[in-house]
Amino acid sequence: MSGPDFSKAELLPVIAQDEATGDVLMLAYMNAEAYQETLATGRVCYFSRSRNKLWRKGEESGNVQEVKAIYFDCDADTLLIKVNQIGGAACHEGYRSCFFRQVTDGGENFQTVGERVFDPKEVYKKN
């Protein structure tokens, strides 16, 4: 085995984890091209399913992810990338982690547990 197996699926799920804290920052997807770019640049590149193109994390916001380590699971169809999150936020909604909502009351409610690092309306202004 030489690495992640993109023959199983065109897109593989990728978990981004903060190397220093262990916090899970986000779940996204990579195709083989995004994986190769990530290896070549040392910065995480994903594949955007909604835009159907490569998504260089932080290209608009400046919140890039520097690769510290890459792991793949026993089936070679899921990646875990330990990163240094530059800019403080991984989430496009301005939170450090995309997992900023916690389910409460047996699933009846949720609460925001993360702190917003930036205002997305300011960062993602459309010209």
125 pLDDT higher than 80 = no
The answer to whether residues 82 and 66 touch, using CB atoms and an 8 Å cutoff, is no
Instruction: Judge contact between 25 and 98, C-beta under 8 A.
Output: yes
Which pLDDT tens digit goes with each residue over 71-120?
999 999 999 999 999 998 999 999 999 999 999 999 999 999 988 999 88
d(C-alpha 86, C-alpha 31), whole Å: 23
pLDDT at site 119 = 87
pTM: 0.91
Each domain of the chain, given as residue ranges in start order, spans 12-92
What are the binding residues for Mg(2+)? Answer: 73, 75, 77
Q: State the pLDDT at residue 13.
A: 99
Predicted confidence (pLDDT) at residue 127 exceeds the cutoff of 60:
no
| Cα separation, 58 vs 17, whole angstroms | 16
Computed over every residue of the chain, the mean pLDDT equals 94
Checking if the pLDDT of 4 tops 70, the result is: yes
Q: Give Cα 3 distance to the centre of its chain.
A: 19
Mean pLDDT on 50-57: 96
Q: Enumerate the known binding-site residues.
A: 73-75, 77, 91, 98
Amino acid at 107: G
- Only one residue has tokens 């899970």, namely 24
Helix (H) or strand (E) holding 120, with range, is helix 120-123
- Binding-site residues for Zn(2+), in ranges, read 74, 91, 98
Kindly indicate the confidence band of residue 1, based on its pLDDT and cuts at 50, 70 and 90. Answer: low
Question: Both ends of the chain: CA-CA distance in Å?
Answer: 46
Superfamily for 12-92?
Phosphoribosyl-AMP cyclohydrolase (3.10.20.810)
